[in-house]
């Protein structure tokens, strides 16, 4: 029925994923129903399912299509009342945000910084954190002043500007959700309270490895550095985040919905300065 667009797919399209051989249909996630099956008991025809990662759209053809052929063990049946638009917004983005949130061990009343606040994963994280921990104060970063109002409208309490890898604030935070990644981790720790945690989940800064990083000096005093990888799929966590969204009525809304024949525009939008939140594609406009 549909799928989210991910930054990693833009990288792959540009030929920057060394293990991916072209031609290849992209797409690392999808939601839909079973059309043909070799496991009718667990995956009967018509069953609503989700799939993410597992080399879909990388080693074999992925979800940018009407139908996708997947190994059974990476197809997850779901029972949900959520509509297709909402469901298509969730898998990779909300799963990643949820896993990172758990790894940050957040407590009510803490201050949280989302570095890369306007990204799909960043907005998802903010919404989940807000629903789970009502007392928290959540600040989002952006490099672009015109996006500040949109961050507040989306639900952030405050905005901090991120310029040339430096946060333009003297503030420190209890927890930092780091989506720019190795390019800014060192700076993030300068803004982390003693005992705080930085969860480095993204690589928007286009750096994949830490360089000139001295763990003894650069991690905040008594602090922690952690991460989350969506390729380690736990059915429990996947269903956990779906349940959470449904039960708490979390406002999961894509920022833009494209049709399958508008895929190039979807990529162009995500690459533009205007990009904000999650972009999805539905196979039919009336889904
Ligand atoms: N660990 C995992 O398993 C996992 C899973 C999913 C995603 N991720 C990663 O999480 C990150 C977010 O993914 P997404 O799909 O949510 O991203 P996205 O929506 O495409 O993010 C777009 C935002 O990124 C910011 N941005 C773009 N280029 C940047 C740069 N060079 N430096 C700093 N900021 C930049 C822009 O914010 P402003 O214009 O507002 O500054 C833009 O609005 C990506 O790095 C992705 O690869 C990791």
pLDDT band at 79 (very low <50, low <70, confident <90, very high): confident
Using most ligand atoms within 8 A of CB, pick from 116, 225, 232 the residue to mutate for ligand 1.
116
Q: Is residue 100 within 6 Å of ligand 1 at its C-beta?
A: no
pTM: 0.95
Digit-coded pLDDT (tens) for 106-145? 999 999 999 999 999 999 999 999 999 989 999 999 999 9
- pLDDT value of residue 284: 73
| Rounded-to-integer distance, Cα 222 and Cα 216, Å | 10
Give me the residue label for tokens 């300065």: 273
- Answer whether 163's CB lies under 8 Å from 147's CB: no
Sign of the torsion formed by the C-alpha atoms of 244, 246, 251 and 255: positive
Q: Is residue 150 within 6 Å of ligand 1 at its C-beta?
A: no
Q: Is residue 142 within 6 Å of ligand 1 at its C-beta?
A: yes
Q: Phi and psi for 126 in degrees, rounded to 5?
A: -60, -45
The DSSP annotation for 94-140 comes to HHHHHHHHHHTT--TT-EEEEETTTBHHHHHHHHHHHHH-TT-EEEE
Q: Is residue 270 within 6 Å of ligand 1 at its C-beta?
A: yes
What average pLDDT does range 62-66 have in this prediction? 97
């Amino acid at each position: 029925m549909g799928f989210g667009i991910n930054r990693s797919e833009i990288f792959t399209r540009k030929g920057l994923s060394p293990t991916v051989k072209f031609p290849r249909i992209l797409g690392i996630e999808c939601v839909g129903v079973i059309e043909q099956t070799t496991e009718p008991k667990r995956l009967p025809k018509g069953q609503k399912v989700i799939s993410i990662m597992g080399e879909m759209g990388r080693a074999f053809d992925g979800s940018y299509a009407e139908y996708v052929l997947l190994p059974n063990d990476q197809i997850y049946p779901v029972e949900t009342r959520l509509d297709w638009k909402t469901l298509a917004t969730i898998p990779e983005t909300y799963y990643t945000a949820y896993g990172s949130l758990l790894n940050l061990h957040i407590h009510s009343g803490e201050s949280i910084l989302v570095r890369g606040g306007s990204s799909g994963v960043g907005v998802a994280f903010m919404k989940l954190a807000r629903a789970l921990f009502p007392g928290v104060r959540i600040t989002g970063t952006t490099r672009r002043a015109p996006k500040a109002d949109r961050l507040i409208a989306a639900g952030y309490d405050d905005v901090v500007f991120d310029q040339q890898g430096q946060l333009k604030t003297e503030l420190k935070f209890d927890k930092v959700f780091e989506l720019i990644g190795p390019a800014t981790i060192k700076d993030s720790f300068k803004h982390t309270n003693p005992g705080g945690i930085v969860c480095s989940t993204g690589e928007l800064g286009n750096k994949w490895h830490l360089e000139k990083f001295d763990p003894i000096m650069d991690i905040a005093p008594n602090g922690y550095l952690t991460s989350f990888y969506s390729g380690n799929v736990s059915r429990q966590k996947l269903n956990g985040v779906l349940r959470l969204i449904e039960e708490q009525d979390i406002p999961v809304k894509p920022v833009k919905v494209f049709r399958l024949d508008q895929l190039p525009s979807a990529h162009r939008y995500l690459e533009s300065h205007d990009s904000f939140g999650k972009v999805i594609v539905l196979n039919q406009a009336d889904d």
